[in-house]
Structure 1
Amino acid sequence: MASMYGDIKSKKEIKRKEYNLIRNSNSSLIHEKIKFNVKSKLNILLNKYHVEGQFIGIYWPLKGEIDIRFIKEINNQKVVLPSSSKTKGISYHHWSNNQLEIDANSIPAPSRENPINPNDISILFVPALAIDQEGYRLGYGGGYFDRLRQRDLWFSIPSFVVISNNCISREPLPRDKWDVPFNGWISEKGLHEIEAAK
């Protein structure tokens, strides 16, 4: 069993290196197209899933990730950012105009704000190195989003990866038994919802 786990772990590492190189080769034009699609498809997702007064979960972009912080400025949307803790995993906090602090993974987060209940979040947008056709995401190896979304309340939030088309794998990505699929993605080709995501 341990060797099987080790095998998946090493396969994921190989895929991370591969997709990191692919993602870093993307032009700013691809980033702009993806941002345009996030902006244009946001209304579709809001009409389908959003309840007045709820929050939209976004992220603080790292190198190579698509910057979707502009969502905060659209109709004064109420947004939340993740804050990671090595012991407690991820929690989401309201990104108001208060100062952000660096979390356990050196990412700016509104950690001083109280954590937001998942019932108050209507949609989550998450970055990734890759995603496959079934919605399984390849992240950075911390397992934060999978641990969070193993909880029913978090899993019930429609969650989409923001990603370039060349990082959408045609083959199933290596996955562990605790990996949890996402509901789809937004790329430069548009919005793709996975009907079968359970």
Structure 2
Amino acid sequence: MTDSPKTTLDPKTRLRAAATAKRAEAARLLGPAAAEALAALALGIPAGAVVAGYWPLDTEIDPRPLMTSLAASGYELALPVVVGRDRPLAFRAWSPGDELEAGPHGTRHPPAGAAVLRPSVVLTPLLAFDAKGFRLGYGGGYYDRTLALLRSDGQVMAIGLAYSAQRVDAVPAEAWDQKLDKIATELGVIAVEQA
């Protein structure tokens, strides 16, 4: 007797399928209201920080109202650029209204002429998160590699952005998985449990 495909999938793959459906439902129910709620939160971002956001894909919670609010408060912003498979992300300067180019995996990023920045705060998209600060992404490892690199040569604050419905009891974590420092949802900021 052979195992069914469902039973042979690793825990992260199984969780990704469920989390994708849960996020889609949250996006359908909450949509732009959740994005506006994020923009009103006090995230504790230090003055003068360079904040890396992201351009939302599919049903990801939309960080653009938050980024617009941060820009109006004087923060310098950047968006990620996929520079290659199995490589950390790069970040290019961006301001609300700037033109963007199409990138890999459906992403959008500033053009090559935009200044390259090193963020001290990274707003991170995700499929699921837990109270310990672990996040489940799409499986490419881009944010884990990027946060590991940024943390190897200085401090960086990683803030996961999500719908509250994306919280799970536990995200299966590997040794290379980088923890979030906090999670912001439409219901408020969640402090990460310390180990």
TM-score range, shorter chain: 0.7 to 0.9
1:45-194 → structure 2 map (5 Å cutoff):
45=43, 48-52=44-48, 54-74=49-69, 75=72, 77-87=75-85, 88-96=87-95, 98-112=98-112, 113-117=114-118, 121-151=119-149, 152-153=151-152, 156-170=155-169, 172-194=170-192
Which segment drifts farther, 135-144 or 72-81?
Answer: 72-81
User: Which amino acid letter does the alignment assign opposite residue 115 of structure 2?
Assistant: N
Give the structure-1-normalised TM-score: 0.80
Distance in 2 between the 1:80 and 1:184 partners? 19
The AA in structure 2 aligned to 1:78 is E
Contact 1:19/1:129, CA 8 A, preserved across alignment = yes
Q: What are the ranges of 5 or more consecutive residues in structure 1 without an aligned counterpart?
A: 1-6
CA shift, 1:34, in A, is: 2.7
Does the residue aligned with 1:150 lie in a helix, a strand or coil?
helix
Where does structure 2 lack aligned partners over 5 or more consecutive residues? 1-6
Deviation per residue, 1:13-66 (Å, 9 max, x gap): 11000110111112545234432332121xx33xx43223x3221110011111
8 Å contact kept, 2:35–2:62: yes
1:98 CA displacement: 4.5
Deviations 1:95-121 (A, max 9, x none): 14543112232311014123212xxx3
Amino acid at match of 1:181: K
- Aligned-partner SS, 2:19: helix
Q: Structure 1 residues 58, 176: closer, same or farther in 2, change over 3 A? A: same
Q: CA contact under 8 A between 1:148 and 1:154: conserved in structure 2?
A: no
RMSD over aligned Cα atoms? 2.5
The CA deviation string for residues 46-89 of structure 1, in whole angstroms up to 9 with x for no partner, is xx43223x322111001111112123432164211111122433
Structure with the higher fraction of residues in helix conformation: 1
Q: Aligned residue pairs: how many?
A: 182
